[in-house]
Amino acid sequence: MARGTDEVLVESAVTHHKRLRQAFLLGRVDRRRDIDDGVRSALVSLVLGAVACAGCVGFSFVAHAIATNNATSPTAGAGATQSQSPDESPDESPTGGG
């Protein structure tokens, strides 16, 4: 019986020592929960903000690329629709019939 009581006391002391060490390092339990909830909320907000920012940057990039492409298309399209090569004049025939 005395041996069982000693084991209970030692286990109780070890548990108490462990709880004291955790309280010293991490603070009170109620404050730890508040801090953990606040940190979790802050991290979620940070991630959502980063995703929203990346979406805005991506949209801006695509809109700028489309606008740039539309701005340069009419001038490039007009030159590409000509059937004559730059070397030929309208009076010369490709067969060189002369």
Segments forming the whole domain that contains residue 29: 20-72
Distance of CA 71 to the CA centre of its chain: 31
The verdict on residue 3 lying in a domain is no
The verdict on residue 88 lying in a domain is no
The verdict on residue 83 lying in a domain is no
Supply the pTM of this predicted model: 0.41
Our CA dihedral for 85, 91, 96, 98, rounded to 10 degrees, sits at -170
**CA distance linking residue 9 with residue 3, whole number of Å:** 10
Total number of domains in the chain: 1
Ordered per-residue pLDDT tens for the chain, 98 residues: 566 788 899 999 999 998 888 888 777 766 666 666 778 888 999 999 999 999 999 999 999 999 999 988 765 545 555 555 556 555 655 565 55
